[in-house]
Chains A and B, each alone.
Chain A
Amino acid sequence: MSDTINFIIDGVEIQGREGQTILEAAEAAGIYIPRLCHLKGLTPHGSCRVCTVLVNGRPQASCTQPVAEGIVVESESERVQQIRRDIIDMLFVEGNHFCMFCEKSGNCELQAMAYRFGIPTPKFPYQFPKRGVDASHPDIFVDHNRCILCGRCVRASRDLDGKHVFDFVDRGPHKRVAVNAEARLADTNLDASDKATEVCPVGAILRKRVGYAVPVGKRLYDEKPIGSDIEAAKTK
Chain B
Amino acid sequence: MVATNGMKRIVIEPVTRVEGHGKVTILLDEKKQVQQARLHIVEFRGFERFIQGRPFWEVPVLVQRLCGICPVSHHLAAAKAMDWIVGGEKLTPTAEKMRRLMHYGQFFQSHALHFFHLASPDLLFGKPGDPLSGFAADVAIRNVIGVAAKFPDLAVQGVMMRKYGQEVILRTAGKKIHGTGAIPGGINKNLSITERDFLLKDIDQMVEWSRSAVKIAKDYTVEHLEKLAPFGSFDSNHLSLIREDGAMDIYHGNLRAIDSVGKKIFDQVDYQRYLDYIGEEVRPWSYMKFPFIRSLGPEKGWYRVGPLARVNTADFIDTPEAEAARKEFMAVTKGKPNNISMAYHWARMIELLHSIERIKELLHDKDLQGTDLVAKGERRDEGVGLLEAPRGTLFHHYRVNKDDQVVMANLIVSTTSNNEPMNRAVAKVAKDHLSGVEITEGLLNHVEVAIRAYDPCLSCATHALGQMPLTVELVDHEGNLVSTRSKN
Asked if A216 and B179 sit within 8 Å, CB to CB, the answer is yes
Asked if A216 and B404 sit within 8 Å, CB to CB, the answer is no
Judge whether B72 is part of the interface by a CB distance below 8 angstroms.
no
Asked if A135 and B62 sit within 8 Å, CB to CB, the answer is no
Asked if B2 and A133 sit within 8 Å, CB to CB, the answer is yes
8 smallest A-B Cβ distances: which pairs? A216-B174, A211-B57, A132-B1, A212-B180, A135-B403, A215-B189, A215-B188, A101-B62
A181 CB, min distance to chain B CBs, angstroms: 12
Judge whether B283 is part of the interface by a CB distance below 8 angstroms.
no
Asked if B65 and A100 sit within 8 Å, CB to CB, the answer is yes
Judge whether A166 is part of the interface by a CB distance below 8 angstroms.
no
CB contacts under 8 Å to B, within A136-159, are 136, 141, 145
Judge whether B230 is part of the interface by a CB distance below 8 angstroms.
no
Given the known interface contacts A135-B403, A208-B404, the answer about A130 and B5 at a Cβ–Cβ threshold of 8 Å is: yes
**Interface-lining segment among B7-15, B268-276, B347-355:** B7-15
Asked if B1 and A134 sit within 8 Å, CB to CB, the answer is yes
Asked if B8 and A128 sit within 8 Å, CB to CB, the answer is yes
A98 CB, min distance to chain B CBs, angstroms: 6
Asked if B2 and A141 sit within 8 Å, CB to CB, the answer is no
Q: Write the residues of chain A forming the contact surface with B, with a CB cutoff of 8 angstroms.
A: 96, 98, 100-101, 103, 128, 130-136, 141, 145, 183-184, 208-218
Given the known interface contacts A133-B53, A211-B184, the answer about A217 and B58 at a Cβ–Cβ threshold of 8 Å is: no
CA distance A140 to B174 in the complex (A): 26
Contact partners of A145 in chain B: CB under 8 A: 4, 7
Judge whether B133 is part of the interface by a CB distance below 8 angstroms.
no
CA distance A217 to B191 in the complex (A): 13
Judge whether B377 is part of the interface by a CB distance below 8 angstroms.
no
Q: Which of B3, B57, B181, B405 contacts A210 (CB 8 A)?
A: B57
Asked if B4 and A133 sit within 8 Å, CB to CB, the answer is yes
- Majority secondary structure, A binding face: loop
Asked if A208 and B55 sit within 8 Å, CB to CB, the answer is yes
Residue of B nearest to A138 (CB): B403
CA distance A98 to B180 in the complex (A): 15
Given the known interface contacts A136-B403, A208-B404, A216-B180, the answer about A101 and B65 at a Cβ–Cβ threshold of 8 Å is: yes
Judge whether B183 is part of the interface by a CB distance below 8 angstroms.
yes
Given the known interface contacts A101-B64, A101-B65, A136-B403, the answer about A214 and B188 at a Cβ–Cβ threshold of 8 Å is: yes
Given the known interface contacts A212-B183, A216-B179, the answer about A184 and B404 at a Cβ–Cβ threshold of 8 Å is: no
CB contacts under 8 Å to A, within B343-395, are 374
Judge whether B61 is part of the interface by a CB distance below 8 angstroms.
yes
CA distance A210 to B175 in the complex (A): 19
Judge whether B218 is part of the interface by a CB distance below 8 angstroms.
no
Asked if A215 and B174 sit within 8 Å, CB to CB, the answer is yes
Asked if B4 and A132 sit within 8 Å, CB to CB, the answer is yes
Interface string of B1-35 (1 = CB under 8 A from A): 11111011011000000000000000000000000
Judge whether B178 is part of the interface by a CB distance below 8 angstroms.
yes
Residue of A nearest to B401 (CB): A135
A-B contact pairs, 25 of them (CB 8 A): A98-B10, A100-B65, A100-B178, A103-B57, A103-B58, A128-B8, A133-B4, A135-B55, A135-B404, A135-B405, A145-B4, A209-B57, A209-B404, A210-B57, A211-B61, A211-B184, A212-B61, A212-B188, A213-B188, A215-B180, A215-B181, A215-B189, A216-B174, A217-B174, A218-B189
A57 CB, min distance to chain B CBs, angstroms: 41
Residue of B nearest to A96 (CB): B7
Asked if B1 and A101 sit within 8 Å, CB to CB, the answer is no
